[in-house]
Structure 1
């Protein structure tokens, strides 16, 4: 008579003969907190009972206005300040207890870089690298040169750091975080002070790091930044976590609350398009140059949602020249406003 699979010491069971290989256990999250709380004197809660899960391999956007508790959370995760209550695990180990083991696997840029102004950019990186007990001094120059190249500072490497612009200092801080290969990169407002070209370069670098398998935890109050590079996001407000999930799921949640979604039509005949759409139940119509947007009727209105193909056909039948037609995905600004009822500093 066949015997059941034997139990292993960890409580799991070995695969039965012929059943194929056992599936590997799920990887620990890169970051996980339970009830993480930070209270300052007077009882002011900077972070209030945070339960956060950052999947490995994700580009995770930590989103919220200035003062929402993002930087305080990061400082607790990195062991820079003690939590008042709750727990945090980074790369599967408790923090700050396992800091000596965990932090060499983490690159971080928090609240802007602390630089030696009298040293050049290159010499600053040499100092940072020399402070790393795991760094081989024989390959220091290669690491420093590679990091400067990655952040676009190779040409300014000999310039004194005190003469750097805010954006250049931010780049140098990021280079310091990239001196060694990292499992986790924690970036607090990484594009602060950068011009639009610099922002694009840093975002491209984040995508490149993620493609190489690095988990990137990106704190920002710039919605556009999160939306362009992140796979997952969490929304903070007044020290509390409002929601978290994939960026696509967060946006889909808002579309669900808008019944069937927000319709967008691009046409050189916006007035005629708006008239036809109104006749077919589209509400909250807005005309901006050659774009017409409106809310589709749905279950919330007690109506069946219209077939988009029928709407498009009605526009064409009425002589409206349609250049583009479809429902738009909710933006992270929509998500934030829907969840909190507040506006957001989208410009930074």
Structure 2
């Protein structure tokens, strides 16, 4: 199944991950329905989708953990899963949470991970483990048993295991799961550092604002299908911004805006937002209509469309934050 392994790596300007018609079927149900995914080298690529959209199944196929039903996948220029033995040593991965030995310390867990890597030099093992612990902020807890770690600490330790060796590609499944806001900021900063060093980062997340803050590119999955992919700025630009009016007269502003075709109006405190119609009125005329009706306008304009706006526009549904 898939393409033959020619043994030749692809040029540096080609995709780090590329799939053609990749599909996975379980008992007659298509969990992944023929997707063509392309992850550019050097990108921080966000993989978005609600619960059950096929994200984790796709990642498991990319990593050679399960066989596709149809189609092909190439990672670092080689067909998967056929080339797992040559590809995976160049990939760091954290999928569906870390697998840890609870009775071992954090440091000893990493020592075990490193010892299982046939490419790892045992003479520099301790130094690599110490550097990985420091990079994810676990040096002070290195001697504590993993079973006593919080969810966020376990997530950090799993990320440290993926960073024991320099990697061309880092695949992260919900990397900030269980972290407090400070921990989330630190992981985002780490992802940026890794990307600056030349590592391509492929991460799935249900946190849309996280994708906007850290990712250069993204793909949106829904019901097993790839809805769209591309630079994050381009995806957001595909959705229309919302009209926003700040006024001490929100009720009257809502009435006037509705009369001029603005829909999905919401008022939170002094701020009123809504969707402009497909053939929107001139914004200056709309502002003048508010003023003429006695609405005291303090601010008026279009808010930049977010990635969430783009997701809703593309899929016609809200984003399931449990996904």
What is the SS of the residue equivalent to 1:208?
helix
Q: Deviations over 1:213-243 (max 9, x none)?
A: 2111111223233232222111112211111
| Native 8 Å contact 1:120 1:160 kept in 2 | yes
- Structure 1 window deviating more from structure 2 (215-224 vs 182-191): it is 215-224
Contact 1:222 1:345 in 2 (8 A): no
The 5 A counterparts of 1:143-292 are 143-255=128-240, 261-271=241-251, 274=254, 281=260, 283-284=262-263, 285-292=265-272
Note the alpha carbon deviations across 1:282-308, whole angstroms, 9 max, x for none.
6124321121223345xx33x6x5255
After TM superposition, the structure 1 stretch with the greater mean CA deviation from structure 2, 283-292 or 72-81, is 283-292
Asked whether the equivalents of residues 50 and 322 of structure 2 are also in contact (C-alpha less than 8 Å), the reply is no
State the Cα deviation string for residues 45-88 of structure 1 (Å, max 9, x = none). Answer: 22111110111111111111122111111111111111111110
Q: Distance in 1 between matches of 2:233 and 2:217?
A: 8
Aligned-pair Cα RMSD in Å: 2.5
Aligned residues: 311
* Residue of structure 2 in register with 1:65 after alignment: 50
The corresponding residue for 1:326 is 301
Q: Is the 8 A contact 1:272 1:320 kept in 2?
A: no
Runs of 5+ consecutive residues of structure 2 not aligned to the other structure: 1-10
SS in 1 for 2:52: coil
Larger Cα Rg: Structure 1 or Structure 2?
Answer: 1
Cα pair 1:296 1:306 within 8 Å, conserved = no
| Equivalent residues of 2:247, 2:295 under 8 A apart | no
Matched, 1:98 2:83: yes
SS in 1 for 2:239: helix
Q: Is residue 115–residue 161 contact of structure 1 (8 Å, CA) maintained in 2?
A: yes
Rounded Cα–Cα distance in structure 1 between residues aligned with 2:251 and 2:193: 45
Provide Cα deviations, 1:241-283, integer angstroms capped at 9, x if missing partner. Answer: 111122222222221xxxxx4222334454565577668x461
2:103 corresponds to: 118
Contact 1:39-1:47 within 8 A present in 2 as well: yes
Choose which of 19, 22, 25 in structure 2 pairs with 1:36: 22
Aligned to 1:339: 314
Is 1:51 equivalent to 2:36 in the alignment? yes
1:92-117, Cα deviation, whole Å (9 max, x unpaired): 22112222222122110011111111
> Structure 2 CA distance, aligned partners of 1:116 and 1:206?
26
The question of whether the paired residues in 2 share the 8 Å contact of 1:78 and 1:95 is answered with yes
**Cα distance, 1:160 vs structure 2:** 0.7
Shift of 1:131: 1.7
TM-score by length of 2: 0.86
Residues 5-33 of structure 1: per-residue CA shift (max 9 Å, x gap): xxxxxxxxxxxxxxxxxxxx771111100
TM-score, reference length from structure 1: 0.81
Corresponding position of 1:294: 274
SS of aligned partner of 2:86: helix
Q: Secondary structure at the match of 1:254?
A: coil
